[in-house]
Structure 1
Amino acid sequence: MKKLIKTVIVKADERGLLFHKGSYVKLLRPGTYRFAAWSGHDAVILDTAKPFSVKGKDLSVFRHDAELLKELEIVDVQDNEYVLHYEDGRFSSLLTPGAYAFWTVLRNHSFERVDIRRPELPKELSAAVPPKLAGYCMLTEIASYERGLLFFNNVFQRELAPGKYYFWKGPVSVQVKTVDLRQQQLDMTGQEIMTEDKVPLRLNFVCQYRITDPLKALEIRGFDEQVYIMLQLILREYVGTMKLDDLLRVKQEVGAYVLNRLSEKNEAFGVEFLSAGVKDIILPGEVRDILNTVLLAEKKAQANLITRREETASTRSLLNTAKLMEENSTLYRLKELEFLEKICDRVGSISLTGGGNLLEQLNSFLGARAGESKS
């Protein structure tokens, strides 16, 4: 048997919306309601812990009911803004452009409006909120050795120090370009240059620099390439006015000259050039062979000179010894004994012929020499 009475029960944490033939009539607070089955009345029960939403009905349908509005918090979000929604002081959700309504029966609601035409998230925003907005904002991290350059719609805004920065994904294009402030090295390898005396050679050169003005460095298109070309031109200018022998002799001075010239461009490039120097000078094979021959000849001449000096010193020493022995008979006698000792050390065996005693012969020899010395 078909029911003649329709009963609707609204609990304490619920609210009901009464409709008559599809049109909204009024709010139903907690309680029990009965309607005749043929009256055309129907009720929609809503959980007050959830946002106000009626399927198939726009929020504007309910705005005329003053009693309903007493229990609702309505938020209209414009096209150029987002709204941060908090429930009982805790972040709940982000509201994009549109109309929203929330029951105030069980929870307190608060809202923070942000203009997304200003892309940077408010500084007073809790650090726990941005990670929950991944779909609506972008994160940029600047390392401790970097600086960031912030652009809105390709217009420079300011320099960013190391840290984390969040920006809204909205109508304004946001770009953050990072610049490395650490010491950097530029290597020039196998640079072919011709000296003043038409000797082709190759240079391996290196210089170190550090960026001091990130914006200036960023404004130079192809920064690394332009620094390389500047270094190349300075080297060609210096080496091209020197002869090979002069270049090899003052090789250590090339770095100082180049560094001095590079330092003149510090401000224009927004950098500080720290050091520069020649790593290698590579000569053609035939030139290298010639230099090796010259070097060998020089070393031989030096060796011969040293030998002559030693021989002269030895002769001078012998002459001094002879003069001393001539003036001192005792010294002469000692020298004789020294040589006799050396002779005896080298004698392995002695063969005698003609008889006679060896000792007597040696004594007579030495005695005869001694007599000559006294006379």
Structure 2
Amino acid sequence: MMIQVVRVQSFQIGLVFRHGGFVRKLSTGTHWLWPNETVHIYNRGMLFEKPPVDLAILLAEPEVAFELDVIDVADNELVLQYENGQYQRLLNRGRWAFWKGVHQFTYVRVDLTQLAVPAEVDLASLLPQPLSAYVRSYTVEAHEKGVLFIDWTFSRVLDAGTYHWWKNNIPVHVLKVDMRQQQMEVSGQEILTRDKASLRVSFFVQYRVVDVMKALVDNKEYDRQLYVLMQLALREYIGNQTLDQLLETKSDLAEVVIRSSAGKAEAIGVELRGGGLRDIILPGDMRDILNQVLMAEKKAQANSIMRREETASTRSLLNTARLMEENEMLWKLKEMEYVEKIAEKVSSISLSGNGQLLDQLKGLFGTSKN
């Protein structure tokens, strides 16, 4: 049996075993081994993977333990490995061993039982990988505000931004609300007027959330509460009006409803900014009745106008007759006017008789007043 010759480079380390048991460590240089010895050579700065024997046995040897960085990671921990400030790898639960030399590593240990991510953990470079499985993230957009609940208890109001917490058994919830002006439709409302006329009304309201605490913490489902609030205000206003009053003053409905609801809306963190009546729909029989009333009113107006015109025309004729009676020249001019109008419609005139032509024309145009 021949003696083995092994050379260990400056960036390497060797471990010699005999019959499965550790014998010695080999440093840089050339070494001779007995035939019944085996050697395992490892690169310094690398992970000690698949040791020939249990790692705990090797760590009991002082010369081996001195050459290793051993990191124990508990079930509720993570360890981040860095070299010269650059992330290298994530160590989860278990025992990790790295050979010393060549690479100088530093480690950041984090406790997953806590929510807050330490400032020394640069999430910008570690998300989405490798920490996506361990971090929960919430984003609040620029037009939003958020409310943070930790373990079902209010914590704080969140401004626009992205927030990160470790994943663990502590419940974390973020409720968000849009801070821009919004519009709500209150449509298809079946309402009775004071005189028992049935109407279907559609209304819209413009609003903006101004108090996040009231909207999301002090009240539940503020938008549904606002809908019911506007619904009740509409019913109250319309229920106190007759149909005729409502149709005459419908332009005032939105202003009155919004003004009466502003205080209650403020209590749920909402500011009412405007609104309007979109539709008033009457039942078919009610529409027919109103159309008949409208037609009767229009006919009465037409008859009144015709009577006024007839009276004015008769009065004008009477005045003309009185003037003609008092002024013979005016009478003659009127006659000539009528003859002229008749002549415009006559294409030819035939004259006959024994008298002279001049006498005939005189008889035609010179008729004297009797």
Do they superpose with TM above 0.5?
yes
Q: Structure 1: state its 5+ residue gaps.
A: none
Q: Would the aligned equivalents of 1:149 and 1:159 in 2 still touch at CA under 8 Å? A: yes
Letter in structure 1 aligned against 2:168: G
The aligned residue for residue 100 of structure 1 is 96
User: Deviation string for 1:164-207 (max 9, x for gaps)?
Assistant: 23322234332223223333332233222222222222222222
The aligned residue for residue 260 of structure 1 is 259
Task: Name the SS of the counterpart of 2:125 in structure 1.
Answer: coil
Counterparts of residues 60-79 of structure 1 (less than 5 Å): 60-63=56-59, 67-68=63-64, 71-79=67-75
Task: Name the SS of the counterpart of 1:280 in structure 2.
Answer: strand
Task: Name the SS of the counterpart of 1:209 in structure 2.
Answer: strand
Q: Would the aligned equivalents of 1:217 and 1:223 in 2 still touch at CA under 8 Å? A: yes
User: Deviation string for 1:193-223 (max 9, x for gaps)?
Assistant: 2222222222222222222233432343344
User: Deviation string for 1:127-153 (max 9, x for gaps)?
Assistant: 222222222213322223222222222
Task: Name the SS of the counterpart of 2:88 in structure 1.
Answer: strand
Q: 1:253: Cα distance to partner? A: 1.8
Counterparts of residues 189-228 of structure 1 (less than 5 Å): 189-219=187-217, 220-228=219-227
The aligned residue for residue 239 of structure 1 is 238
Percent identical residues: 45
Aligned length: 367
Letter in structure 2 aligned against 1:178: K
Pick which of 168-177 and 296-305 moved more. Answer: 168-177
The aligned residue for residue 18 of structure 1 is 16
2:159 matches 1:127:
no
Q: 1:346: Cα distance to partner? A: 2.0
Task: Name the SS of the counterpart of 1:196 in structure 2.
Answer: coil
2:43 matches 1:47:
yes
Query: Using a 3 Å threshold, how does the CA distance of structure 1 residues 318 and 70 change in structure 2: closer, same or farther?
Result: farther
Task: Name the SS of the counterpart of 1:354 in structure 2.
Answer: coil
2:225 matches 1:230:
no
Q: 1:320: Cα distance to partner? A: 5.9
Task: Name the SS of the counterpart of 1:131 in structure 2.
Answer: coil
TM-score (norm 1): 0.83
Q: Would the aligned equivalents of 2:17 and 2:23 in 1 still touch at CA under 8 Å? A: yes
User: Deviation string for 1:349-374 (max 9, x for gaps)?
Assistant: 434443667776445554555xx7xx
Q: Would the aligned equivalents of 2:20 and 2:53 in 1 still touch at CA under 8 Å? A: no
In the alignment, the residues of structure 1 paired with residue 123 and residue 220 of structure 2 have an alpha-carbon distance, to the nearest angstrom, of 39
Q: Would the aligned equivalents of 2:226 and 2:265 in 1 still touch at CA under 8 Å? A: no
Query: Using a 3 Å threshold, how does the CA distance of structure 1 residues 276 and 368 change in structure 2: closer, same or farther?
Result: same
Q: 1:295: Cα distance to partner? A: 0.7
Q: 1:102: Cα distance to partner? A: 2.7
In the alignment, the residues of structure 1 paired with residue 140 and residue 194 of structure 2 have an alpha-carbon distance, to the nearest angstrom, of 49
The aligned residue for residue 82 of structure 1 is 78
TM-score (norm 2): 0.84
Letter in structure 1 aligned against 2:139: E
Q: 1:21: Cα distance to partner? A: 4.1
Letter in structure 2 aligned against 1:158: R
In the alignment, the residues of structure 2 paired with residue 59 and residue 138 of structure 1 have an alpha-carbon distance, to the nearest angstrom, of 35
Query: Using a 3 Å threshold, how does the CA distance of structure 1 residues 170 and 59 change in structure 2: closer, same or farther?
Result: farther
Letter in structure 1 aligned against 2:339: L
Q: 1:301: Cα distance to partner? A: 1.4
Task: Name the SS of the counterpart of 1:297 in structure 2.
Answer: helix
Task: Give the superposed CA RMSD.
Answer: 3.2
In the alignment, the residues of structure 2 paired with residue 6 and residue 357 of structure 1 have an alpha-carbon distance, to the nearest angstrom, of 171
Q: Structure 2: state its 5+ residue gaps.
A: none
Q: Would the aligned equivalents of 1:26 and 1:65 in 2 still touch at CA under 8 Å? A: no
User: Deviation string for 1:51-101 (max 9, x for gaps)?
Assistant: 233436555444455554554433343444422221232112222244333
Q: 1:263: Cα distance to partner? A: 0.8
Query: Using a 3 Å threshold, how does the CA distance of structure 1 residues 74 and 368 change in structure 2: closer, same or farther?
Result: same
Counterparts of residues 144-183 of structure 1 (less than 5 Å): 144-183=142-181
In the alignment, the residues of structure 2 paired with residue 333 and residue 25 of structure 1 have an alpha-carbon distance, to the nearest angstrom, of 156
Query: Using a 3 Å threshold, how does the CA distance of structure 1 residues 104 and 354 change in structure 2: closer, same or farther?
Result: farther
Task: Name the SS of the counterpart of 1:277 in structure 2.
Answer: strand
In the alignment, the residues of structure 2 paired with residue 75 and residue 263 of structure 1 have an alpha-carbon distance, to the nearest angstrom, of 63
Query: Using a 3 Å threshold, how does the CA distance of structure 1 residues 329 and 168 change in structure 2: closer, same or farther?
Result: farther
The aligned residue for residue 344 of structure 1 is 343
Letter in structure 1 aligned against 2:229: M
Letter in structure 2 aligned against 1:19: F
Query: Using a 3 Å threshold, how does the CA distance of structure 1 residues 57 and 327 change in structure 2: closer, same or farther?
Result: farther
The aligned residue for residue 304 of structure 2 is 305
In the alignment, the residues of structure 1 paired with residue 143 and residue 357 of structure 2 have an alpha-carbon distance, to the nearest angstrom, of 96
Query: Using a 3 Å threshold, how does the CA distance of structure 1 residues 260 and 86 change in structure 2: closer, same or farther?
Result: same
Query: Using a 3 Å threshold, how does the CA distance of structure 1 residues 27 and 36 change in structure 2: closer, same or farther?
Result: closer
Task: Name the SS of the counterpart of 2:128 in structure 1.
Answer: helix
In the alignment, the residues of structure 2 paired with residue 355 and residue 24 of structure 1 have an alpha-carbon distance, to the nearest angstrom, of 170
Query: Using a 3 Å threshold, how does the CA distance of structure 1 residues 21 and 275 change in structure 2: closer, same or farther?
Result: same
In the alignment, the residues of structure 1 paired with residue 35 and residue 51 of structure 2 have an alpha-carbon distance, to the nearest angstrom, of 23
Pick which of 139-148 and 307-316 moved more. Answer: 307-316
In the alignment, the residues of structure 1 paired with residue 356 and residue 135 of structure 2 have an alpha-carbon distance, to the nearest angstrom, of 122
Q: Would the aligned equivalents of 2:206 and 2:272 in 1 still touch at CA under 8 Å? A: yes
Q: 1:299: Cα distance to partner? A: 1.0
Letter in structure 2 aligned against 1:111: Y
Q: Would the aligned equivalents of 1:185 and 1:208 in 2 still touch at CA under 8 Å? A: yes
